[in-house]
Amino acid sequence: MKRRLCGIGLLSLITASAGADAQTAQNMAVLRGLAPVSALSNSADGRAALASNFTVTGGIQTGAIRQPTLLPFAEQQQQALRDAFITDGNLAELADGLGTTLAAAYQARAHYLDRERFTSISKAVADLIAYANSTSGSDSNAGKYFFANGTTNGKKPVSDEAMAIFKDVGGAPDPFGLAYGRPAGTPGADAYGNSRPFQTEPRILPIVGPDYFNVPADNEVYNRGPIMNLIDSPSFPSGHTTYGYMGSLLLAVLAPDRYQEMVVRAAEYGNDRIIMGAHYAMDVLGGRTLAAYDLAHLLANDPLYMNRPLKNFAMTTATSEPQVPATISDFRGAVTNARADLVKALEAACGAPVAACARQDTGRFNAAAMNEAFYASTQTYGLGIAHAETADKVEDVAALAPEAGYLLTVAFPKLSLEEANRILTETEGPGGGFLDDGSAFGVYSRLNLYAAASRAATLSRTKP
């Protein structure tokens, strides 16, 4: 199936100066959840976290901080350059987390023919991907301009209700631009605010090599143009990371035998944005939290997330003839239908059950210890405690965000929602991070889905 969707659709969401003028109820909830970033400069802990964000980002980008990446640093740089292109139409670039055999089967059927045209597994799979990406893309785009300069698109002021979010937390726009000496509109800064690392860091290590289409490129042409111009695209939250986590977690739910590896692929994809010099660690953590929050609400069939006029959010991703699916009223049901098509396609290609093919992996995701070590290094990026009130506290996921359990139960249906939320609580990461303010959104920043998926799979195997 070929569809005329722009392969850098979410880039359009990242950089477009047009789009929905007013925030939806869903956008507002996400803006409130991300709002603590705007108030970090008010406290000593917050200012320390901002400073750490700058230092850690620069250290990762230049290699001065040696992470336990899945590939040697030079090779990981090349992976980061390939990951700059967003395969939002079919998630092809993310599918290598499925393992050597399943990834080959997936990408043979779902791949990009060029930067605009792509093929899909089936209409059910394509529609599910489009709905999920449009949902989280809308939230990411709303956040970029809101936290940069309090607008919907860089120019049009947000509503009074939205501006009240800053007042409620004692925050203000452009936290990164102000903290890192590049306030909005000043020489070398983003015109709107929240300048990116390639605009603020003292040094950006060049990355030269072939991009996703095997075209000679470097991180400069994907940061400053002409391939991808992010000069006036606010940094927070990371749209690439939002896509990377939404897409990877969607594939994890569709192919639960590779759930943990897909979580690692998401972490790698987000981390690669730091290596490119395009994003700070906080941008990546913001994108991860946003994607998990949105997907959980989709999987819970939250009424605010169902029956939405997708064209309002996907219009900036389309070419002359917008290709958007009919609105989805039952996302869990759509997952079931898409999974049936995916399993059929994968098993036809690999000649065995998906579970058997999932174990056939000679790629970079085949070592569990390496996967665990790398994912752990990205859980908080060591940014320190910004919210002392949650630092040493176990936060009950069931009480704060009961819908989060669907991130596990849809993949492992033998689990009850109660069991899934208990697992998420017992495996949650360190508290006190810059988004972990005790809210229903903030708790998603603590979720360790790598550890939780292992526990969920083990428990599921004990059930009839």
Question: How does pLDDT run across 364-387, given as a tens digit for each residue?
Answer: 999 999 999 999 999 999 999 999
Closest CA to 95 of 272, 266, 348: 266
| pLDDT 10s digits, 437-455 | 999 999 999 999 999 999 9
Give how far Cα 315 sits from Cα of 119, 304, 400, Å.
Answer: 20, 20, 34
**Within 10 A of 171 (CB to CB), how many other CB atoms are there?**
18
Q: Is 321 buried (19+), middle (13-18) or exposed (0-12) by CB count in 10 A?
A: exposed
Tens of pLDDT along 393-436? 999 999 999 999 999 999 999 999 999 999 999 999 999 999 99
| Predicted confidence (pLDDT) at residue 304 exceeds the cutoff of 90 | yes
Judging by DSSP bridges, how do beta strands 2-4 and 117-119 pair with one another? antiparallel
Q: ω before 303 within 30° of 0 (cis)? A: no
> What integer is the mean pLDDT of 18-41?
86
**Comparing 129-138, 228-237, 281-290, which segment has the lowest mean pLDDT?**
129-138
Question: What tens digit of pLDDT does each residue of 177-223 get?
Answer: 999 999 999 999 999 999 999 999 999 999 999 999 999 999 999 99
Judge whether residue 322 has pLDDT over 70. Answer: no
Q: What is the pLDDT, as a whole number, of residue 21?
A: 53
pLDDT at 324: 55
Joined tokens for residue 154: 């860089």
Q: Tell which residue, 84, 140, 87, has the closest CA to residue 313.
A: 140
pLDDT higher than 80, residue 2:
no
- Three-state SS for 219-250 is HHHHHECCCCECCCCCCCCCHHHHHHHHHHHH
| Confidence bin at 308 (pLDDT 50/70/90) | confident
Q: Using an 8 Å Cβ cutoff, are 196 and 230 in contact?
A: yes
* Predicted local confidence at residue 51, as pLDDT: 98
In contact, 241 and 294? CB cutoff 8 Å: no
User: Region 221-250: what's the mean pLDDT?
Assistant: 97
Q: For residue 116, what pLDDT is reported? A: 87
Question: What's CA 366's distance to the chain center, in Å?
Answer: 22
Count of other CB atoms within 10 angstroms of residue 299: 25
pTM: 0.94
User: What is the pLDDT, as a whole number, of residue 19?
Assistant: 39
Angle formed by the axes of helices 123-149 and 239-254, to 10°?
150
* CB environment 73-112: b (16+ within 10 A), e (fewer): eeebbbbbbbbbbbbbbbbbbbbbbbbbbbbbbbbebbbb
The amino acid at residue 128 is: L
Q: What is each CA distance from 186 to 64, 157, 183, 273, 345, in whole angstroms?
A: 29, 20, 6, 24, 52
Percent of the chain whose pLDDT exceeds 70: 92
Distance CA 389, CA 214 (A): 49
Rounded average pLDDT over 225-232: 96
The kind and range of the H/E element at 209 are strand 208-210
- Give 346's Cβ-side CA count (13 Å radius): 27
Closest CA to 314 of 327, 302, 301: 327
Residues with Cβ within 8 Å of 399's Cβ and at least 6 positions away in sequence, in order, are none
d(CA 56, CA 62): 10
Other C-beta atoms lying within 10 Å of the C-beta of residue 57: 27
Tell me: the pLDDT tens digits for 112-128? 999 988 999 999 999 99
In this predicted structure, the answer to whether residue 3 has a pLDDT above a threshold of 50 is no
pLDDT the model gives residue 6? 35
Cα–Cα distance between 144 and 454 in angstroms, integer?
34
- C-alpha gyration radius of the chain: 20
Amino acid at 422: R
pLDDT digits (tens, 9 = 90+) for 129-185: 999 999 999 999 999 999 999 999 999 999 999 999 999 999 999 999 999 999 999
Q: How far is CA 2 from CA 109, 220, 316, 406, 430, in A?
A: 11, 31, 19, 32, 44
Q: Give the DSSP letter of residue 326.
A: P
Query: Is residue 5 pLDDT above 70, yes or no?
Result: no
Rounded to the nearest angstrom, the gap between the alpha carbon of residue 66 and the centroid of all alpha carbons in its chain is 23
pLDDT score of 57:
98
pLDDT given for residue 23 in this prediction: 82
pLDDT of residue 325: 57
pLDDT the model gives residue 177: 98
**Other Cβ atoms closer than 10 A to 163:** 14
Interval 83-105 mean pLDDT: 97
Please tell me whether the peptide bond between 325 and the residue prior to it is cis, using omega within 30 degrees of 0: no
Q: What is the mean pLDDT of the chain?
A: 92
Give the confidence band of 327 by pLDDT, cuts at 50, 70, 90: confident
